Amino acid sequence: MTMQLEFTPASQDALNYERYHHPVPLVQRRREALWLKSQGLPHGQIAQLVGVTDNTLRDYFQLYQEGGLEKLKEVAVPRPESALPAH
């Protein structure tokens, strides 16, 4: 899994801060993974430290590549659909 991602000093600072301070644990985990990537750690070690699979780590990197820091904050909340509106 080779993915070239660019990190500015400002993005590294934001990742570093929000990996502990963001209110959503999933976002914290994503930011931790990206912060470790910005520090040059190998992907296998990042996955192990963050506690995710290689595929999940790849998904985090893809999110960042597509939309930067803001994309990492997007969390899909499943909402059950009711049969009532059809009536």
The whole-model pTM stands at 0.82
Residue-range domain boundaries for the chain: 25-72
40 Ramachandran zone, left/alpha/beta (phi>0; psi -120 to 50) = left
Q: Let me know if 57 is exposed, middle or buried by CB neighbors in 10 A (0-12, 13-18, 19+).
A: buried
Q: What is the pLDDT of residue 87?
A: 57
Q: What is the pLDDT of residue 85?
A: 67
Residue among 23, 21, 19, 22 nearest 33 (CA): 19
The rounded average pLDDT for each run of 10 residues, N- to C-terminus, in the chain (87 residues) is 82 93 94 95 96 96 92 83 68
Q: What is the pLDDT of residue 86?
A: 62
Q: Are 16 and 35 in contact (CB under 8 A)?
A: yes
Give the Cα separation of 45 and 1 in Å (integer).
13
